[in-house]
């Protein structure tokens, strides 16, 4: 069994209202010096069997279409050892 982690984040130029709200809240609870927060999503996939080249390519394809919207988001795919 393999574990694949897909991180999806809003592109830097896209507004992240949640992140902005969190910056405000961090100030209120006394954490100083936080200039920016971005909130992303993390998908942890449990996959039966091995993740070979072909499978990884397929996962990358799915990350680009299903798990993220390339118009506003970037993603990374990592196979966890």
Partner 1 sequence: MTPRVGVITFPGSLDDKDAARAVRLAGGESVSLWHADADLHSVDAVVLPGGFSYGDYLRCGAIAKFAPVMGKLVDAANGGLPVLGICNGFQVLTESHLLPGALTRNDHLHFICRDQKLRIENNSSMWTSDFEVGQEILIPLKNGEGGYVADEVTLDELEGEGRVIARYLELNPNGSRRDIAGITNERGNVVGIMPHPEHAVEKLTGPTTDGLGFFTSLLSSLVNNGKISA
Partner 2 sequence: MSIDTVSDATSSPKTAQPFAELGLKKDEYESIREILGRRPTSSELAMYSVMWSEHCSYKSSKVHLRQFGTKVPKNDSMLVGIGENAGVVDIGQGWAVTFKVESHNHPSYVEPYQGAATGIGGIVRDIISMGARPVAVMDPLRFGDPENPDTRRVLTGIVSGIGGYGNCLGLPNIGGEIVFDASYQGNPLVNALCVGTMKHEDIHLAKASGVGNAVILYGARTGGDGIGGVSVLASETFDADGPAKRPSVQVGDPFMEKLLIECTLEVLHAGLVEGIQDLGGAGISCATSELASNGEGGMHVWLDRVLLRDSTLSPEEILMSESQERMCAVVEPGKIDAFMAVCKKWDVEAVVIGEVNNSGRLTVEWHGQEIVNVPPRSVAHDGPVYERPYARPDWMDVRQSSGPDNLVRPKSAAEVKQTWLTMTGTPNLASKSWVTSQYDRYVMGNTVLAQPEDSGMIRVDEKTGLGIAVSTDCNARFAALDPYKGAQLALAESYRNVAVTGAKPLAVTNCLNFGSPEDSAVMWQFEQAVTGLADACLEMGTPVTGGNVSFYNQTGEVAIHPTPVIGVLGVIQDVDRRTPMAWQRDGEIVYVLGATRDELAGSEWAHAIHDHLGGLPPVLDLNAEMTLAEILVAGSRDGLFTAAHDVSEGGIAQSLAEMAMRSGVGARLEVPAGIDAFTFLWSESATRAVVVVSQDCYEKFVALCDAKKFPVTKIGVVDALSKSIELAGVFGESISLDIEELRTISEETLPRLFG
Where do contacts with partner 2 occur on this chain (CB under 8 A)?
A: 10-11, 13-17, 20-21, 24, 69, 71-72
The Cα angle at residue 5 between residues 50 and 63, in degrees rounded to 5? 95
Q: Which of 11, 14, 24, 25 binds a second copy (CB under 8 A)?
A: 25
Round to whole Å and give the CA distance between 19 and 31.
15
Give me the 60-79 binding string for a second copy, x by CB under 8 A, dash otherwise.
--x--xxx------------
Min dist. Cβ of residue 55 to partner 2 (A): 23
How many Cβ atoms sit within 10 Å of the Cβ of residue 18? 13
- In angstroms, the CA 23 to CA 79 distance is 31
By CB under 8 A, tell whether 12 contacts a second copy: no
Please report whether residue 29 would count as binding partner 1 according to CB under 8 A. yes
């Amino acid at each position: 069994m393999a574990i694949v982690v897909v991180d999806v984040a809003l592109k830097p130029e896209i507004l992240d209202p949640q992140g902005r709200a969190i910056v405000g809240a961090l100030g209120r609870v006394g954490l100083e010096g936080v200039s920016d927060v971005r909130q992303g999503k993390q998908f942890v996939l449990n996959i039966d069997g091995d993740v070979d080249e072909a499978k990884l390519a397929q996962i990358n394809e799915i990350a680009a279409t299903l798990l993220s919207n390339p118009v506003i988001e970037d993603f990374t795919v990592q196979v966890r050892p």
